[in-house]
Structure formats: structure tokens, C-alpha cells
Amino acid sequence: MIVGALVALILLIDQLVKIYVKTHFQPGDSVNVFGDWFVIEYIENQGMAFGTTFGNKIWHKLALSIFRIFAIGGICYYWYKQAKAGVKREFLVAIGLILAGATGNLIDSMFYDYAFPYDPCMGYNHLEGSGVFADCGFFGKIETKHKGFLLGNVVDMYKFQATWPQWVPWLGGSEVFPAIWNTADASITIGVGMVFLRQRAYFPKKRKEQVVINTEQEAEETKSHND
């Protein structure tokens, strides 16, 4: 119940921020939050986390959204089984963070094309190679993304405006983290990071059993070699 409440809270924050940005910002608008190194800048992306793209055909976007649905179902099932098995609460929190992030971005794709006015001529809706054209007046006919259920964009807004010092090899002067992201992306990243960094704490029994098995195998190999 505690972890479930955390998931619900992250989803609520994620959607409230996205709705606020969509209703109060124009695409490209930027507002400083902490000095000038962390800002809110409204953009939308048609792909995966941190603005990465997947393709320009309708089945590319559908495949991504359907994969998200199955992944969320699998995470829910795994989460339930782990809770019944009595694993550490921290591990359930990590799974919950991943679940919340995946669900938050899926909600955008499912409903935002219907919940908000859709302008195919906005830059973030352009998609070369889609085969869908819109009359954009002065700019003529422009290829745009497909619109509908599971085809909506994901709203992003958080951006770091920090650069590497010039003395850093290869990276000097470039942005530390150029991608623009959202609460859901951050939730997924933190959850995956927890699982990766804390796996020894989450799976101590399995690791101990593996050590025993490896030790026994080494003993058998040594015995065979001596014989």
C-alpha cells in the first residue's frame, strides 16, 4: 500500500506538471527555476524517454505504445509476486518508480491527442516520411505525425543548462545533459539506478547460493584435476 501510494503520487505530479505546462506555456517557452542552470522548457517528443525517436511510420509508434502496455502489465505482475515473496520494501519502491514512469508517459500517448487542441503544423508534430500531410498555409503542405489513441506525443519540460568546463577532455564546453525530460523519465531512471546499484542488497540469498554453487564446482574441478 505504501509503494502503491508512492506510484500514485508520482503519476499525479507527472500529469499535473504536464497539464500545467501544456495549458500555460507555448512550445519553446522557457522559465528559470534554479538560477539559469535548471529551467522548465516546453517541448513534446514522439518517441521514447529523453526525446529519443523510434521511427516515422504509424506501426512504429503503435509498437512502442503496445510494448509499453505489455511492459507495464509485466512489471505489475512481477511487483505483486515480489511483494508476496516478502522482498525488501526498497526493492518494491524501485519497481514502483519504473512502473510509475512507464505509465506516466503511456498516458500522454493514449489521451493527449484528444484532451488538448491538436495543431499538426507545430514543429514537434512534423514527421518526415509519415505519409500524412497537413496544409500549413504559408509553409505549404507538411508531413506530420499520425494522430489518435496510443499515437500522442510525450510532454517534456525539465532541462539542465550546465556545460562541462573547457579543461575536460573531449567534453569541454558541451552540455552536461542536453536532453529535455519529465517526471516520468526521472522516475524510471531512479528506479533502474536503484536496481543496478543495490542488487546485492535486494538479492542477497540468490548471490549466496550462487557463491556456494561456484565453490562446489571449483572443488570438483580441482579434485578431477588432481585425480
Catalytic positions are 156, 185
Distance CA 169, CA 203 (A): 38
DSSP β-bridge partners for residue 159: 39
Q: Which residues of 82-121 are buried (b: 16+ CB within 10 A; e: fewer)?
A: ebeeeeeeebbbbbbbbbbbbbbbbbbbbebbeeeebebe
Cα separation, 46 vs 155, in Å, equals 9
Return the C-alpha cell found at 206.
540468490
* Composition of the chain by helix, strand, coil, percent to 5: 55, 15, 30
Cross-strand bridge partners of residue 30:
41
Pairing of strands 141-144, 132-135: antiparallel
- The alpha carbon of 88 is separated from its chain's Cα centroid by a whole number of angstroms, namely 24
As a whole number of angstroms, the distance between CA 156 and CA 52 comes to: 12
Q: Kindly tell me the sign of the dihedral angle through the C-alpha atoms of 191, 62, 142, 19.
A: negative
